[in-house]
Amino acid sequence: MNNHPENRTEKDSLCNVSYNPVTEARDLAIMDELYKVTRIQPVDMFPHTHHVENVVLLERREVLLLNN
């Protein structure tokens, strides 16, 4: 990933998909300053296994403040 300031954009919303709750919690904590979790939906993509995907919608905090 290229973190050069000219290449960074802050989107109004993001969708995060993860099958690993440990890394998902880590990633959401990293994004917490700029993005708020607004929806979470578990999805069973692999029936008959213990794996469940989590789909998380995040919205940029500045946008949320402007819309309220």
List, for residues 11-60, the tens digit of each pLDDT value. 899 999 999 989 999 999 999 999 999 999 999 988 899 889 999 999 99
34-61 b/e with 16+ CB inside 10 Å = b?
ebbeeeeeeeeeeeeeeeeebebebbbe
Domains of the chain from N-terminus onward = 5-67 (3.30.70)
User: Which band of pLDDT confidence, cut at 50, 70 and 90, is reported for residue 1?
Assistant: very low
Give which of 20, 15, 13 is closest to 55, Cα–Cα.
15
- Asked whether the whole model's pTM tops 0.75, one would answer no
- The size of the chain, in residues, is 68
pLDDT score of 8:
59
Dihedral sign (CA 59, 65, 66, 68): positive
